Structure 1
């Protein structure tokens, strides 16, 4: 018996920008992810900006992981090697399972754009409480690469042979939470 193609299913996605210098007026990476996920047909569950601080990152991420409304978390920023870059240290302890292939593939597809500087990316991904979390670098270009070349297809139920949708919690997708707040 042949497998049936599954239809696209909108997911509730939260976006977290991690930066000591960004706010809503200059958060091009976070805004790109919001626009991209909506253009793909998904629902923005929430969006926040926090300082590059392990405990602020964990607090927001933990709340979304525990939420009944979030299925995917996209973070941007804090994945480099500077003293303040702490996204992997903040997020990876929250994982139930690590998606090792994400960081490997991200660095591979980034090679064409940024050359060997890709080895300085500490992009990571994992699952926590049936929420998939993708941690991207803070540049808009890196967010475009991560979204277009990897994430978009992996959170699309119609992509074969497999994707993350069947592994995610079931939520009520009747309202775009951020739009309903004004």
Structure 2
């Protein structure tokens, strides 16, 4: 069972949100907005937000810019993880990872199975670490974003979560980057 060290002071992280879509804009981006609201409710800061077309090179360019920005600790992406001919988030971003977090996709699909059954196999949700920046790639549906944040990401971005979380590692890397 997950534990919390409530005596520790919460560490707020700087998080960028990227929506991958050929059709959405800020007004119609309910998935990106759900992530923004949740990260802010958790006490984190929205560092940047963008919408890019489902294009390998546009995705890599935006995410690479954020990976190089020492003020961005975490990147949340939504969209482009399915199997249509335009879905390219895994192909675009996995090559940028220094380390893949295999357990994220596995756990996401397991939790998602409770909600959408076997359709979860059509999700290619993934996560990784690049230059000390955490990247979580979620499906484009608002429900999937809620599941990913509420049931996995929020705890892993809370330094009080035990037995482990990603915050200490992110803060050490941020100090090393100067």
What TM-score range do you get, normalising by the shorter chain? over 0.9
Any stretches of 5+ residues in structure 1 without a counterpart? 172-182
Query: In structure 2, what is the equivalent of residue 139 of structure 1?
Result: 141
Task: Give the equivalent residue in structure 1 for 2:75.
Answer: 73
SS in 1 for 2:165: coil
1:104-142 CA distance string (max 9 Å, x none): 000000001100000110000000011000000000000
Other-structure match for 1:178:
none
In structure 2, the gaps of 5 or more residues are none
Q: Matched residue of 2:161: which SS?
A: coil
Q: TM-score, normalised by structure 2?
A: 0.92
Q: How many residues end up aligned between the 2 structures? A: 168
Query: Quick one: which of 152, 171, 174 aligns to 1:170?
Result: 174
- CA shift at 1:170, angstroms? 2.7
For 1:133 and 1:23, the matched residues in 2 are separated by 22
- Runs of 4+ with deviation above 2 angstroms: 4-7
CA distance in 1, matches of 2:163, 2:9: 13
Q: Please, what TM-score do these two structures have when normalized by structure 1? A: 0.90
Question: How do 1:14-163 residues align onto structure 2 when only pairs under 5 Å count?
Answer: 14-163=16-165
Aligned counterparts of 1:167 and 1:96: Cα–Cα separation in 2: 14
Q: How far apart, in 1, do the equivalents of 2:76 and 2:10 lie?
A: 19
- Give 1:68 deviation, angstroms: 1.3
Cα deviation, residue 7, structure 1: 2.4
Q: How large is the Cα RMSD of the aligned pairs?
A: 1.1
